[in-house]
Amino acid sequence: METLRAQRPLRVGAVTLVPVMRAAIRSGSGAAGCWITAVAEPVAIVMRDASGTRALAADRSEIALETLIAQTPNLEAILSGLSES
């Protein structure tokens, strides 16, 4: 199971940052027993300031905010709850 999740917004001066993480949980079993792993890794960051809202991937390339919202179930709710910078 792999899911994108927006994290709690952070305010840094006049900029609000919303980290987006990928949470992955995997499990399996075999002759030696069972195993489970969980990993959280950064995927993107959404930045809101006086000039607008934009998203950057972890590799620092710009990505479409609409695409990230479509892939991240709680991101739209978090962004709608932010005051305009």
Instruction: For residues 21 and 39, give the distance between their C-alpha atoms in angstroms, rounded to a whole number.
Output: 10
pLDDT, position 1: 57
Whole-number pLDDT of residue 85: 46
| pLDDT given for residue 84 in this prediction | 58
- Structure tokens that stand for 74 in this block: 């709680």
Provide the pLDDT for residue 55: 97
Low-confidence stretches of the chain (pLDDT < 70) are 1-2, 84-85
User: For residue 24, what are the contacts with CB-CB under 8 A and spacing of at least 6?
Assistant: 1, 2, 3, 37, 38, 39, 40, 41
